[in-house]
Structure 1
Amino acid sequence: MDNSGKEIVKYGITFGTALSIAISWSVNKSIVWAIIHGFLSWAYVFWYVFTR
């Protein structure tokens, strides 16, 4: 069994974190909120998409 599934998950988490930080920064211009939203990752991205 190869590790391609694990790599996809790892990159998905990394991309979700970066995306949530970028969205948070563009909306709030606050490093504190960007860090908090980075921890929330995909949850914040989905919340942002569904509330806009």
Structure 2
Amino acid sequence: MNKIKLMLILLFVVPLECYSHESSNGIRNTAISSGISLGTVLAVVASWERNKSVLLAFLHGIFSWLYVIYFVLTRKPGEKL
């Protein structure tokens, strides 16, 4: 149940290109432009599920999609994401 709560909280932080518009001189103004990507969320959740370590989850979140691919290739039969 905690994994679902963590996933929902992190999904609200996913960057969205909302509140953006182009000004008359062609410059695009964006109110929200940075945040956590979907790959980062998946990597953190997969790392936490496997290792139960905040430091490793943070490190794997930096590598995001690389760790997600590694996790999928090396997971054991009982592990799910």
TM-score, normalised with respect to structure 2: 0.48
Query: Which structure has the highest helix share of the two?
Result: 1
**Structure 2 unmatched runs, 5+:** 1-16, 18-32, 76-81
Tell me the C-alpha RMSD between the 2 structures. Answer: 1.7
- Number of corresponding residues: 42
Moved over 4 A (4+): none
Query: Which structure has the highest strand share of the two?
Result: 2
If asked which structure has higher relative contact order (CA below 8 Å, sep 6+), I would say 1
Identical counterparts, % of pairs: 48
**Structure whose CA Rg is larger:** 2
**Structure 1 unmatched runs, 5+:** 1-6
